[in-house]
Amino acid sequence: MAKDVKAPEKEVKTSKGGAAKADITVAEKLVELYRLQHIDSQVDKIRTQRGELPLEVQDLEDEVAGLETRMKKLQDELTEMETQVSDKNNLIKDAKGQIKKYEGQQAKVRNNREYDSLTKEVEFQNLEIQLAEKRIKEAKAQIDGKKVIVEESKARHDERKKDLELKRKELDDIVAETEKEEKELAKKSEVASKHIEERLFSAYNRIRSNARNGLAVVAVERGSCGGCFNSIPPQRQLDISSHKKIIVCEHCGRILVDDYVVERVKGDK
């Protein structure tokens, strides 16, 4: 395929009023598309430098938030258990007061029936005390176990929070280094996109979003597609260089351009 491809003449269309107006050629459309791709690829390269850091930061933020939620839940459970222990201690105190009262009444009873009735009350209160003491013992064992879990969770939380702060700083440093350049390229991309008709721009974005490397417009290199590297038949290469219509790779669907388009964009740098 010859590298020196001349730019096609502007197509001329006649408007409804009969006046002739120049319409953009396919070659110019391809130049604008490839220029936009070149800018967007530079933005992609900057974002690739960040690697997995944004995802790592997000994962750490989620983990830290999850640990904080867990610790709050554990702390609420601890507070509830401690309240239960306090309630049981108060119950024991009340039961002992009742026993003392019943034992005092036993000294003043007039018959065995009243004495037996008070004895049963004393026995009942003693059972209440025994049950409460059992529940206190169980609760304290659970409290001790949960305190261990809380300490482990806190240690894990502090460790992951420290990791998060380091990753955030690392990400912030990278963003600070590239932010200005990225903003400038984003402006250039916006300007370049305005030179492309809506239908083509939509197709470009669709192809780009489906391409793993973000390439929607690629050059023909050594007779092969610059995106998927599949061979392009000679006749199709001639069709690409003729600039009569926009041609896509039959294997990957990317828009194909020739050396003329590539050199035009390089010459604009």
Output the six-digit token pair for 25. 């050629």
Lowest mean pLDDT among 19-23, 41-45, 194-198, 248-252: 19-23
The domains of the chain are located at 12-49+197-267, 53-179
Question: pLDDT confidence of 232, banded at 50, 70, 90?
Answer: very high
Rounded to whole angstroms, how far apart are CA atoms 34 and 257? Answer: 8
DSSP state of 254: -
Q: Which of 124, 125, 121 is nearest to 106 (CA)?
A: 121
CA 92 – CA 217 distance, rounded (Å): 82
Alpha-carbon gap, residue 90 to 75, rounded angstroms:
22
CA distance 232 to 246: 15
- In the chain, the DSSP E strands lie at 11-14, 20-23, 217-221, 224-225, 255-257
User: Residue 220: which of 30, 19, 9 has the closest Cα?
Assistant: 30
* pLDDT score of 238 more than 70: yes
pLDDT(119) > 80? yes
Structure-token match 């010459």, residue found: 267
Structure token digits, residue 88: 């049981």
Band of the pLDDT at 101, cuts 50, 70, 90?
Answer: very high
Residue 132: the pLDDT is: 95
pLDDT, tens only, 132-162: 999 999 999 999 999 999 999 999 999 999 9
Under DSSP, is residue 21 helix (H, G, I), strand (E, B) or coil?
Answer: strand
Considering only residues 206 and 46, tell me which one the structure prediction assigns the higher pLDDT: 206
Say whether pLDDT at 13 is over 70.
no
Report the pLDDT averaged over residues 60-70. 95
pLDDT for 19: 34
pTM given for the model:
0.53
- The chain-wide mean pLDDT, for the chain, equals 88
Indicate left, alpha or beta for 253 from its phi (over 0: left) and psi (-120 to 50: alpha): left
Task: Please give the residue that has the higher pLDDT: either 10 or 53.
Answer: 53
Highest mean pLDDT among 3-12, 19-28, 105-114, 245-254: 245-254
Q: What is the mean pLDDT of residues 238-259?
A: 95
CB 98 within 8 A of CB 153: no
Second-level CATH architecture of 53-179? Orthogonal Bundle (1.10)
Q: Of 242, 243, 217, 221, which is closest to residue 232 (Cα–Cα)? A: 221
- Helix/strand/coil for 72: helix
pLDDT for res 23: 65
Q: How far apart are CA 255 and CA 192, in angstroms?
A: 17
- In three-state secondary structure terms, 212 is coil
Report whether pLDDT(121) > 70. Answer: yes
Phi-psi region at 15: left, alpha or beta (left = phi > 0; alpha = psi -120 to 50): beta
CA distance 268 to 38: 11
